[in-house]
Structure 1
Amino acid sequence: MKPREKDPGLKPVEIGLVVRAERNEEEEAQFRPLEWGLIRRLFAYTKTQSRKRNALIVITLVRSIQLPALTWAMSVIIAGPIAHHHLGMLPWAVAGYGVLGLLTDGLFHFRQRYALELGESVVKTLRADIFRCVQRMPMSFFNRVKLGRIISRVTSDVESLRVGIQDVFFVSIVQFGNMLFAAVVMAWRDWVLFLVVVAMAPLLWVVNRKFRTRLSLLTRATTESFSRVTATLAESVNGMRVTQGFVRQQTNAGLFRNLLADHARYNIALARTSAILVPLLELNSQFFIAVMLLLGGWRTFHGQMEIGDLIQFFFMANFFFAPIATIGNQYNQALIAMAGAERVFRLIDAKPDWEDDPAATPLPAPAGTGMRVEFRGVGFGYDPTKPVLHEVSFTAEPGQTIALVGHTGSGKSSIINLAAKFYLPTSGQLLLDGRDVHSITSHSLHRQLGMVQQQNFLFTGTLLENIRVAKPDATEEEVRDAARQLDCLDILEALPKGLHTEIGERGAGLSVGQRQLACFTRALLVDPRLVILDEATSSIDALTEARLQKALQALLRGRTSFVVAHRLSTIRHADQVLVLDQGRLIERGTHAELVALRGHYAALYEQFVQMDDRRGGSTVA
């Protein structure tokens, strides 16, 4: 697993126990202007719609000519038939103008329609790529990347790319096309006045360059601050029980307002900068029009150009300068799209901390046998520089139940995470059925794994659909049979609609005990060779647990199992009890052997058994 790199320039924003967001190297925007590499990559997503994209480009180019052509035609009518009182030609000229107008509006329909369809196609593909990327990430990725960050990529960042594809690119083509057509007409009518227009270009370039870097910085800072707001909101909702339990509503609300104020400051700074740039561009336009009025008037007075030519020139001059403000706004939108593209592609390109070896092969699944699990001097750390397991060695023979005992932070969960190949050992060797875990495909191992945790996740849907997550092709009778084996079918059928009861997000609508029973049934349904129970009965009352004990013995019989539990009743009959302390294996044996040894395990037993007896069941840490 790769160590997490830190950026010394980052400044985390901490907002308490529940509400907290931070920047890291994966989230920090790169402060740079338009990058052609990102633009090319973004438009590569239009390949599947290449015919529509190409047609759209052609339509956009034609429309970029049609719009100034309409203005030019109007100026010709004014300077021609109207100025010279040619009434016979006027209806024909107006009719031609009307036909051109209809064609222009007709093409506008298809430009809008194709652009929207193209943008939706890109957005759909990008979101699918993000989801596919997230699905292949190991658990370490989700330990360091907040849910709100991922949601922000799929929502606001991808939406900014939609705007970049369907609006910025094609609107800019139209605006630049307008300017080019107007420039050609102006140069044709009077090259002297046109030189005045050309003289404006360096000034516009200087103004644009001055503001471009600041707009780039502020745009990316704005999108990053919004990402922090989204991440904090998602974390706050997930932790609402803790927030309300510790009466932190007002505190967290104030801290969240600070994040909103931070985001608002960036937005205001961005708006103020844009509010300076756009009027400056328009002021330059008006200044040069004033200059051209003086020069054009002087040339007309001296007979160097016709009044009709001057009228046409000024129509085209207005059409030349008008797109400047629009292009400035589109440039701002392009910067937002670039910020979104940087962040989206950074997520899509993120390499997993580890992947299956290309030479890895599936683990055979012989029916009716447990899995042999062997730890040989295994060391592990979620951060390799801070190990949490040290030289752990033991063997779980097929069919054995291994109980893991120790104080919080002793390494119990780390062992089961390694056995399930959610992580890979930092040192030493882990063997499954005699094969190194690196040589086994994760998919084949997880197909043979049944896991029940203290906090199990249930999806929105029916109870039956949630149990079938483990085996989608299972029949309803197979699900009932699994629940019957666990002696909990009557509890599940007692729900309002039995197995077809609709449950909410995270199992809302079910009691904690009912959720745990559903997860037990889900684990049994796959007929696993390796079973992991991570404090799986801690949320079940003593009466329900008593019903489960006999069923659990049937579930574990013939299967290798790892049991992490505080209740002594769940590990009393374990084949091996492994006692861990600060990541080291300090004792091993059966429950009776370890109690007789009068060591660390016995001290834990004596410490907790009396307290738990008063609650109706024995415990050990």
Structure 2
Amino acid sequence: MRNAFLAPFRYPRYTKEIEAEEQEETKPKVQNWRFTLKQLWAYLAAYKARLLFVLLMVILSSFFALAGPFMVGMAVDHFIEAGQLDGLGLFLAGLAVIYAGHSLSVWLQNVSMIEVAQRTVYQLRTDLFARWHELEVPFYDKKKHGELMSRMTNDIENVSNTLNSSFIQIMSSILILTGTLSVMLWLSPLLTLVTMVVIPVMYIGMKWITKRTNRLFKAQQRNIGALNGYIEETLGGQEIVKTYSQEPHVISAFEKRNARLRLSGFWAQTISGFIPKLMNSLNNFSFAIIACVGGLFALNGMITIGVIVIFTEYARQFTRPLNDLANQFNTILSAIAGAERVFAMMKETSEFHGEDNLPDYVPAGGKIEFDRVSFSYNGTENTMADVSFTARPGETVAFVGPTGAGKTTVINLLARFYEYHAGAVYVDEQEVKSLNRSSLRRQMAFVLQDSALFQGTIRENIRYGRLNATDAEVEEAARLANADGFIRSFTEGYETKLSQEGGGLSQGQRQLLAIARALLADPLILILDEATSSIDTVTEIKIQEALSRLMEGRTSLVIAHRLNTIRRADQIIMLQQGQVVERGTHEELVARRAAYYEMYQQGDEAV
């Protein structure tokens, strides 16, 4: 009760807090209206016939909306005031047809427009998602995942809402405004002028309200986003919260965010609640003016009673479209800004652009050669400088070195996730830049430190390596990967449902599934990036056995932090600051007693 009583006195202080938040955020602006509307029309153009039908229904509904009050007013003059009841039944039937036609046309326009909007948004979402999978890895390095999700959800949802309702409301409001004003001027220009007295008052009142509600609803959306983000972050980090006994801290932080949402929601709803009160008051005021002035005009024979009835109805129809147009402006601006951001992302160059004419990679053993390759992520400092090595078919080449030495960069350049700046990379004597990326990557399989698993069954996750594999082939791959045992220990076996990112499985079990997936893919080239890090000794033995089967007969590039995983490598290459400082077998490098030997002496932690 106390908080509710004091709430009005907190508004001035709260508005200062909102101003501070607004200064920190970038307001959405439309940079290129013409391009955005042209792109949006390209999607809507597929439904021209349906849009024309919607326009026809809007025109009909607007006509019926104007005709109903006009006929009622005429009925007052011809039937009630004149005392003439002949033809009243036919008139009432016609009036019923008008109101039924209005309801039907409104229903048809809404259903049709919703179908057009949802089909358009469906295609827009599909195209954006497909485009994401055509973009290069550097694109994702520069974008936050939250920003990408915002394009798919918030921005496209704004477009959807605008197409669903705003399109019809704007057309209908313009037609009703034009028609209402025209009929009012035709009936009585003087009474029309009197009726317009409320418009300046309505404009000032609505401007005062919307100026505050726009900011308050934005603040409410920001607070909802902050609260949801904090909830997601906290739920995802429950183990850390409990490990450090920080439950009181996170609950306190949640209460603060929840309180801000409550406060912004209170003021947004409270001030926006003034709108219907203002409109009702102005409508009543308008009725009073029309009745008073119209009555004087009627007494002097300037107008009829029926005209007064028409004006009272039209006065309400006149203020509502004005209100709708004012409210829809910000909605449309937000939707176009969102559409612009979506289309800008879809304009990003595909990594497959211009590759249609490139030949497919023709496997011929899996020989890999780096010839004086240099590369930089930021364009200024070299991550890799003049690196050369050769991995013969079936060989295992391991890369070691400190963090940032360029080990993972080797993999990125081989798979063409990034393009090298100097030198050349060859696979079976074919330069990778001259090959179709998809055909090259189809001959590779990756087993990474963090194995990516998807929502679905264990069988589906293994089959991801080769979608046309039979159930027997999936189970054989799992057996070779030493994963069959733990899979069958589950009640549902291979049909066990996995949550997102393989929740419920240990790190080692996830790695075994990743190895099974790679075995099923049957690649020519194998990439192992720290595949046995953070694994217990018993599980590591199982993984090593599975990796031995996987690597047999395949050219393998291995990045490892644990030296015992690379001792049997045919060649070990040590990188420092993007350069090759040593190469050889484990025994050769230890006997050399140089950089690798020092790292070996310090143990796994130094790698």
* Distance 1:464-1:539 versus aligned 2 partners, 3 A rule: farther
Task: Please give the secondary structure, in 2, of the residue aligned with 1:596.
Answer: helix
Amino acid at match of 1:455: D
Report the counterpart of residue 497 of structure 2 in structure 1.
502
For 2:384 and 2:219, locate their aligned partners in 1 and report how far apart those are by CA, in whole Å. Answer: 40
Task: Give CA-to-partner distance per residue, 1:123-181, whole Å, 9 cap, x none.
Answer: 21121122112222222333343333333333333222222011111122222222222
* Distance 1:327-1:394 versus aligned 2 partners, 3 A rule: same
For 1:39 and 1:74, locate their aligned partners in 2 and report how far apart those are by CA, in whole Å. Answer: 42
Alignment of 1:439 with 2:434, yes or no, is yes
Task: Give CA-to-partner distance per residue, 1:87-117, whole Å, 9 cap, x none.
Answer: 2332222222112222222223322322222
Report the counterpart of residue 135 of structure 1 in structure 2.
133
Alignment of 1:380 with 2:384, yes or no, is no
Asked whether the 8 Å contact 1:411–1:580 carries over to 2, the reply is yes
* Distance 1:308-1:548 versus aligned 2 partners, 3 A rule: closer
Report the counterpart of residue 19 of structure 1 in structure 2.
none
Alignment of 1:593 with 2:588, yes or no, is yes
Task: Find 2:63's aligned residue among 59, 62, 65.
Answer: 65
* Distance 1:243-1:44 versus aligned 2 partners, 3 A rule: farther
Report the counterpart of residue 366 of structure 1 in structure 2.
363
Task: Give CA-to-partner distance per residue, 1:364-391, whole Å, 9 cap, x none.
Answer: 3436x2232314232222x334543333
Task: Give CA-to-partner distance per residue, 1:362-419, whole Å, 9 cap, x none.
Answer: 443436x2232314232222x3345433333322222221111122332222222222
Report the counterpart of residue 522 of structure 2 in structure 1.
527
Report the counterpart of residue 14 of structure 2 in structure 1.
none
Amino acid at match of 1:590: T
For 1:261 and 1:518, locate their aligned partners in 2 and report how far apart those are by CA, in whole Å. Answer: 45
Task: Report 1:171-320 matches (<5 A).
Answer: 171-195=169-193, 234=232, 237-247=235-245, 251=249, 295-320=293-318
Task: Find 1:483's aligned residue among 458, 462, 478.
Answer: 478
Asked whether the 8 Å contact 1:149–1:231 carries over to 2, the reply is no
Alignment of 1:124 with 2:122, yes or no, is yes
Task: Find 1:515's aligned residue among 507, 510, 516.
Answer: 510
Asked whether the 8 Å contact 1:30–1:342 carries over to 2, the reply is no
Report the counterpart of residue 429 of structure 1 in structure 2.
424
In structure 1, list runs of 5 or more residues that go unmatched: 1-21, 610-618
Task: Report 1:13-162 matches (<5 A).
Answer: 28-31=26-29, 35=33, 38-162=36-160
Root mean square deviation, CA, Å = 3.7
Alpha-carbon distance, 1:580 to partner: 2.0
Amino acid at match of 1:122: T
For 1:384 and 1:234, locate their aligned partners in 2 and report how far apart those are by CA, in whole Å. Answer: 36
Alpha-carbon distance, 1:182 to partner: 1.5
Amino acid at match of 1:517: L
Amino acid at match of 1:598: R
Report the counterpart of residue 616 of structure 1 in structure 2.
none
For 1:546 and 1:419, locate their aligned partners in 2 and report how far apart those are by CA, in whole Å. Answer: 29
Report the counterpart of residue 167 of structure 1 in structure 2.
165
Task: Give CA-to-partner distance per residue, 1:414-447, whole Å, 9 cap, x none.
Answer: 2222222222224443333333332222211110
* Distance 1:164-1:473 versus aligned 2 partners, 3 A rule: same
Number of residue equivalences: 586
Deviates more, 1:108-117 or 1:253-262: 253-262
* Distance 1:167-1:293 versus aligned 2 partners, 3 A rule: same
Task: Please give the secondary structure, in 1, of the residue aligned with 2:538.
Answer: helix
For 1:391 and 1:61, locate their aligned partners in 2 and report how far apart those are by CA, in whole Å. Answer: 71
Amino acid at match of 2:396: T
* Distance 1:453-1:236 versus aligned 2 partners, 3 A rule: farther
Task: Please give the secondary structure, in 2, of the residue aligned with 1:364.
Answer: coil
For 2:114 and 2:289, locate their aligned partners in 1 and report how far apart those are by CA, in whole Å. Answer: 41
For 2:138 and 2:398, locate their aligned partners in 1 and report how far apart those are by CA, in whole Å. Answer: 25
Task: Give CA-to-partner distance per residue, 1:570-599, whole Å, 9 cap, x none.
Answer: 201112111122333222211111111111
Alpha-carbon distance, 1:536 to partner: 0.8
Report the counterpart of residue 488 of structure 2 in structure 1.
493
**Which protein is richer in helix relative to its size?**
2
Report the counterpart of residue 404 of structure 2 in structure 1.
409
Asked whether the 8 Å contact 1:356–1:442 carries over to 2, the reply is no
For 1:262 and 1:133, locate their aligned partners in 2 and report how far apart those are by CA, in whole Å. Answer: 37
Asked whether the 8 Å contact 1:157–1:341 carries over to 2, the reply is yes
Amino acid at match of 2:366: G
Task: Give CA-to-partner distance per residue, 1:325-368, whole Å, 9 cap, x none.
Answer: 2333333433442343233333333445x55554762443436x
For 1:88 and 1:75, locate their aligned partners in 2 and report how far apart those are by CA, in whole Å. Answer: 17
Report the counterpart of residue 555 of structure 1 in structure 2.
550
For 2:492 and 2:280, locate their aligned partners in 1 and report how far apart those are by CA, in whole Å. Answer: 67
Amino acid at match of 2:100: L
For 2:308 and 2:169, locate their aligned partners in 1 and report how far apart those are by CA, in whole Å. Answer: 29
Deviates more, 1:50-59 or 1:461-470: 50-59
For 2:467 and 2:281, locate their aligned partners in 1 and report how far apart those are by CA, in whole Å. Answer: 66
Amino acid at match of 1:341: A
* Distance 1:37-1:228 versus aligned 2 partners, 3 A rule: farther
Asked whether the 8 Å contact 1:243–1:249 carries over to 2, the reply is yes
In structure 2, list runs of 5 or more residues that go unmatched: 1-20
Amino acid at match of 1:370: G
For 1:355 and 1:197, locate their aligned partners in 2 and report how far apart those are by CA, in whole Å. Answer: 63
For 2:168 and 2:537, locate their aligned partners in 1 and report how far apart those are by CA, in whole Å. Answer: 67
Task: Find 1:580's aligned residue among 552, 565, 575.
Answer: 575
Task: Please give the secondary structure, in 2, of the residue aligned with 1:578.
Answer: strand
* Distance 1:235-1:446 versus aligned 2 partners, 3 A rule: farther
Deviates more, 1:94-103 or 1:202-211: 202-211
Report the counterpart of residue 13 of structure 1 in structure 2.
none
For 2:70 and 2:477, locate their aligned partners in 1 and report how far apart those are by CA, in whole Å. Answer: 79
For 2:273 and 2:430, locate their aligned partners in 1 and report how far apart those are by CA, in whole Å. Answer: 66
Asked whether the 8 Å contact 1:220–1:336 carries over to 2, the reply is no
